[in-house]
Chain A
Amino acid sequence: MRPFARLSGPSAPAVLVLAAVAAWLTTTAAQQPVRTRGVKQLVSELNAPGIDRGLRDADSPRPAPTGSGRRWVNGRGAEYLSGSLIVRFRPGTLPVTQRALLAQVDATAGAALPYADFDIVTLAGGADPEAVARRLSEQPDVEYAQARYRVRPMFVPNDTLYSRQWNFPQIDVERAWDINRGGSSNVVVAVVDTGVAFRSGTLRFTAMAWQRDDGVNFPALGQVDVPFAAAPDLGADRFVSPRDFIWDDNLPFDLAGHGTHVAGTIGQLSNNGMGVAGMAFNVRLMPVKVVDTEWDYIFDSPFIGTDDTVARGVRYAADNGAQVINLSLGREGDPAPAVRSAVEYAVSHGAFVVVAGGNDALEGNEVERYAEFAPQIDGMVSVAATGPDRRRASYSSTGSYVELAAPGGDFSRGGAVGGILQQTLDLDLVETFAGPVSRYTAPRFDAFAYFYFEGSSMATAHVSGLAALLMSQGITSPAAVEAILKQSATDLGSPGRDNEYGSGLINARAALRGLGLAR
């Protein structure tokens, strides 16, 4: 059941007991595909305020968090979860027909999930989810079937205040603030991501033993009380409808720093005498956690970040009043109909959706499956990244689906300060697993620092921030937001739309000014 070997070897009797328990668990899992695993317990509502540990621009580069250690299968360009898949039957398909179709592939449906218009089905044996999905897709009663592809945040973090935020002048944000200073608190932006450092509290987890991708084994830490705090430069009283689809509760704490950094670009408190600025610093933020990271794995979260989780998160955000939904995430592999359907639902409910264009230009430039369908939806845009020199970031994926470009940072051309600077978790106190085992301790999520990150994730957050400003101006139609973002973009690269920059680099002031009769 576990994806990686534990450290200590059990004795023979214990093996028998464990085997019996495992068999029982397997049977149960067949009936209930997502069972409760790790436990996250709020042991205290209070914690000391977040600790600001300053600017971190001189650290040596640290590797990006790459995986949560689950059992993944390498598919065609993307990893996916073994043992289950996502299926949507056509409306009107009788339950008996559904069961019969699933029986043909030795699959059983689980309980219906909230915020989902699809089923998660469990596969018996070692059947390959991609192969089974292809078989099911051929059935006339099946609208789509897909593997549960893993999603990941779109960033390449680097350890490395306003004068350092070259990204805002690049898209004329300062003059845009002359028109609309930070947007309205009536606008809600959903950060569908790894969570956000949105409040204080102490949570009790059980940290299991695990093995890092490079084979290093880490011991179980047992029960640990982990302190959390709201990021000081985000504020604590502007968050609405928080939801965690990884832990299935309303405490979407960020255990990696990605979501908090993205939220900072969208709405970091500004003009407050500390730290850095954000695009739309008056809007409210909705933290929706759909991506699991290392500590979620170590704490054995019950859910994981796959297409179904993302789709549910998007639907939740739309149903709970988000006008802008930021998706600084994505994946390659096969198409993503569940997520597409969720985005269409969100747009039809008045939400403007922004998705990362991808970071794989240097690694095969595979098609980004979430960004891929953005051009077909009026009210959703995919975003490429630019560096400090206004050129496409070296890593930023290219393709016909790229619709806009925004600052994402580029360490390869801008050095350590070539990224996007925002406040996030102090990664030294979070990524205790990144170094030797001797330095492995329980993490803390109540200390913060200013880090430069790069990635189309960061670019996406700029577009979401601008969309929030437009919404604050009364442009509430997602299609209209998309139209003005494109009409006002600064054309870069080949004249007209191109595969590197789409319609061009967003221009915040031009977008907010809108169009006059003659100009």
Chain B
Amino acid sequence: MDFGLPTQIAYPAIISLTFPFTLLLVTRLGALRSRNAAQFLAAVLLQGFVWILGSLALPDSYRPIHFSDWLFTAMLVASSFLFYLEVWALLSRGYTLSMLLTLLRAARPLSGEEIARQYRGGAGLDWIMRHRVGGLEAAGLVWADGRQLALTRPLGMLIAVAYRIAITIFGLRRTG
């Protein structure tokens, strides 16, 4: 294979490396405050827009010209966004990380019950249940029937079946 570095790699690399700064700016927007998913999406859209605009304006040797060049640079930029998404999801939704932070903020060792009680700044573990079920309801995957949770059909059931197939393919013994 040819190991020569394509010159079209330079601009997507800059876009990828500067993404954390764009995300930092977006988090300072009052309208998106505390909306972590929306903040990330807005930063991706903004950075994606800058990438396309720059790609059209760069000199020929640095910009994608053919469809194959656009595909290559788009994959490069998308890969960096996926990497940052993993980190962002961990920071903003990480269950285990939140337990570590509970221990960090405690002045002494905590029992399992104390971690559960002090979880998420004192909101407690049942916050997770409310938060996740709220998300599932908003997505139309479950519905609350009195004190019972019920799976919607066909959407909820479809996702559950797809999830079961994914567990089988990956060979996972335990999930969640």
Do A and B interact with each other, yes or no?
no
* Chain A interfacial positions (CB closer than 8 Å to B): none
* Chain B interfacial positions (CB closer than 8 Å to A): none
